[in-house]
Structure 1
Amino acid sequence: MDAMVDLRERRAALLADRRLTWVFGADDPGVEVREAWAGEIRLRVHVPRGGAASGRPLVLALHGGGWCWGSPEQSRWMAGRIAARTGAVVVAPAYRLAPEHPYPAAVEDCWAVLRWAVVHADDLGADADRIVVLGDSAGGTLAAVLALRARDEGGPPIRGQVLFYPLVDLVGLHGPGLAGILEHYVGPDLSRAEEWAVSPLRAASHADLPPALILTARFDPLRPHAERYAAALRTAGVGVAVHCPTFATHAYLTLPGISPASRGGLDRTVNFLDHALAPRHR
């Protein structure tokens, strides 16, 4: 446990090192970054400068890190660029991490933040009827889970889901470091990996979910997960767009300084969001 906390602190120090902003990217100058709290959950809120003061679309952005590491700061480049280019308010929560807080803590935190954002949409300058959930890696899994839960619980209404190289089936997860992540996340009872809120591919149905953009990469070891989830959504009649750059690997969207593919991924994300979040005439 102490070793994991120490690793988190060292990773946080890396993100805070201004000399490495060329690797991780920096906050967008056209966006104001505010700190807010949903109960005890810290939020990093990206609000575009200028323009409308209300009625903006809302994007809930969930960071990756295998449910054990990570923070909203590691996704600041992507979150800020999305806010600046789409005019959306982007809310990025610091959800609880395993193993101190195993499943379902992260799911419950992200669900609580989604509900909080709907209730506080006016305070955020956002439109509670124009929401997209987005996440990378473990955050992509959480975004997929939120879309399923919102469908099953009658809302909040979600216009789209953007899943960057998600893990969608944790049963029998193997590979360097992955088996350990599974045990940290679900605890000693590995059978919990069969629950759909851990492994969204195992949901009883994928029908009636919002349209999806799924980004993966040619050299991403989790690419089969993305492809299987895209296939499951298509089979259920859900609209899906998949982008798989040839010269990229896992986490490329949070490494703009060393992965040219990150900008192409950002462009596709912005195009999808512009369509999904467009006002609907009544």
Structure 2
Amino acid sequence: MSRRSYQGLPVRTGLLTRYLDAMGRTPIEEASLEDIRASREQVYPAWPPFSWITGPTGRGVRISDAHVRARDGHRVPVRCYAPASDRPLPLLVYLHGGGWVWGSTFMYDPLCSRLAAAVPAVVVSVDYRLAPEHRSPQAVLDCLDVVTALVQDRATVVADGVPAYDPDQVGLAGDSAGGNLSAVLAQQLRDLRGPGGEPAVRHQALIYPATDMTLASPSIRENAHAPILTEAAVHAFRAHYLGDAPTEDQLRDPLSSPLFGDLEGVAPALVQVAEKDPIRDDGTRYAAALQAAGVPVRATEYVGLPHGFASFPGACPAGKQAESELAGEIRRHLAP
């Protein structure tokens, strides 16, 4: 494992990230396929002391599982979070992080259930296919197919187990690789219309998103030995997702690098980044590009925090603030 720098982190954050770096999963740059598959099965318990770190699950939120059929016939698993309501609620599609390689919908029960309660909205978390078994653009295609079905085939997917929702009020959200996928989907689906004829995707919430596969962001070198995510890990995740020797065209393809896509007319955005994150500048550069394209955007940098802070808010002094901002911005754009 490469050396890590914990300088400048809050005390609680530093203690937790030291523990995770020392005792957690095998670093991605060293992990075998067997290691990767084993890591995908990990789920943190939903009770103390673990919930002191991840935060509790949202109160009054019903969690269920369903499937949405992709274009190739694959049944994409989705995990649904539905707060009690006497009216149709907006839909928030959540795309989990994990470098397109690991992670799962189950790992995001705390965050997704709290967002469902706080917005309030029906949250559908997508278990898209992962690399290296399924390389780019499979994750994008799975997520596109799910969102398109949720908007255009609402009756079918509700009948298949997805809770009822308002298909005219759709938001996208995701962290890290999921932030990348959310940004890509916002571009790909800018012309998707809801039943009422208005653009279906009303907002994109991007939490420390990866946006540039050329790895040109200066923060990658600045935070090369950061906690949780290092420069070496960034390169390893990209190799799993795009292959060991991607061409320049692959690196700049908007399906993998949304920074190089057409941004005009995409949904308004929230972009949250972490100061001690190698891909911090991916987020700040993307927010600037959105603003230059005339897209309303709120960009926030959380000082002293590392990549991944949304998954351990209990160990971050600004964790509640970041989550409150996230829920508030989604609510502001999706409220009927």
TM-score (norm 2): 0.77
Partner SS, residue 98 of structure 1: coil
Q: CA deviation at 1:71?
A: 0.7
- Match for 1:3: what amino acid? S
Instruction: From the superposition, tell whether residues 9 and 240 of structure 1 become closer, same or farther in structure 2 (CA, over 3 Å).
Output: same
Q: For 1:61-106, what per-residue CA distance to the aligned partner results, in whole angstroms no more than 9, with x for missing partners?
A: 0000000010112222221111101120000011100000001110
The residue that corresponds to 1:47 in the other structure is 82
The separation in 2 between residues aligned to 1:140 and 1:158, in whole angstroms, is 15
Partner SS, residue 272 of structure 1: helix
Instruction: From the superposition, tell whether residues 261 and 75 of structure 1 become closer, same or farther in structure 2 (CA, over 3 Å).
Output: farther
Larger radius of gyration: 2
Which residue of 270, 275, 284 corresponds with 1:227?
284
The residue that corresponds to 1:141 in the other structure is 180
The residue that corresponds to 1:182 in the other structure is 238
Q: CA deviation at 1:16?
A: 4.4
The count of corresponding residues between Structure 1 and Structure 2 is: 276
Q: CA deviation at 1:153?
A: 6.2
Q: CA deviation at 1:142?
A: 0.1
Q: CA deviation at 1:119?
A: 3.7
Which residue of 229, 233, 257 corresponds with 1:199?
257
Which residue of 106, 113, 125 corresponds with 2:146?
113
Instruction: From the superposition, tell whether residues 164 and 129 of structure 1 become closer, same or farther in structure 2 (CA, over 3 Å).
Output: same
Asked whether the 8 Å contact 1:121–1:127 carries over to 2, the reply is no
The separation in 1 between residues aligned to 2:149 and 2:50, in whole angstroms, is 33
The residue that corresponds to 1:33 in the other structure is 63
- Match for 1:13: what amino acid? Q
Q: CA deviation at 1:149?
A: 0.2
Q: For 1:183-213, what per-residue CA distance to the aligned partner results, in whole angstroms no more than 9, with x for missing partners?
A: 110124512121011000011x211111100
> Percent of aligned pairs with the same residue?
35
Q: For 1:246-273, what per-residue CA distance to the aligned partner results, in whole angstroms no more than 9, with x for missing partners?
A: 1311110111231232211111112111
* Residue 319 (structure 2) pairs with residue 262 (structure 1): yes
Task: Please identify, of 121-130 and 167-176, the stretch whose mean Cα deviation from structure 2 is larger.
Answer: 167-176
Instruction: From the superposition, tell whether residues 278 and 13 of structure 1 become closer, same or farther in structure 2 (CA, over 3 Å).
Output: closer
The residue that corresponds to 2:38 in the other structure is 9
* Residue 199 (structure 2) pairs with residue 164 (structure 1): no
Q: CA deviation at 1:154?
A: 6.4
Partner SS, residue 171 of structure 1: coil
Asked whether the 8 Å contact 1:215–1:243 carries over to 2, the reply is yes
The separation in 1 between residues aligned to 2:108 and 2:317, in whole angstroms, is 16
The separation in 1 between residues aligned to 2:78 and 2:56, in whole angstroms, is 17
Task: Please identify, of 208-217 and 153-162, the stretch whose mean Cα deviation from structure 2 is larger.
Answer: 153-162
Q: CA deviation at 1:20?
A: 2.6
Which aligned pairs between 1:79-118 and structure 2 lie closer than 5 A? 79-118=112-151
The residue that corresponds to 2:331 in the other structure is 274
- Match for 1:177: what amino acid? A
Partner SS, residue 43 of structure 1: strand
The separation in 2 between residues aligned to 1:207 and 1:42, in whole angstroms, is 32
The separation in 2 between residues aligned to 1:2 and 1:251, in whole angstroms, is 19
The separation in 1 between residues aligned to 2:319 and 2:64, in whole angstroms, is 25
Structure 2: unaligned runs, 5 residues or longer:
1-29, 70-74, 221-230
The separation in 2 between residues aligned to 1:153 and 1:34, in whole angstroms, is 26
The residue that corresponds to 2:22 in the other structure is none
Structure 1: unaligned runs, 5 residues or longer:
none
Task: Please identify, of 93-102 and 114-123, the stretch whose mean Cα deviation from structure 2 is larger.
Answer: 114-123
Q: For 1:96-127, what per-residue CA distance to the aligned partner results, in whole angstroms no more than 9, with x for missing partners?
A: 00000001110001111101222454522211
* Residue 104 (structure 2) pairs with residue 71 (structure 1): yes
The residue that corresponds to 2:225 in the other structure is none
* Residue 268 (structure 2) pairs with residue 211 (structure 1): yes
Instruction: From the superposition, tell whether residues 128 and 20 of structure 1 become closer, same or farther in structure 2 (CA, over 3 Å).
Output: same
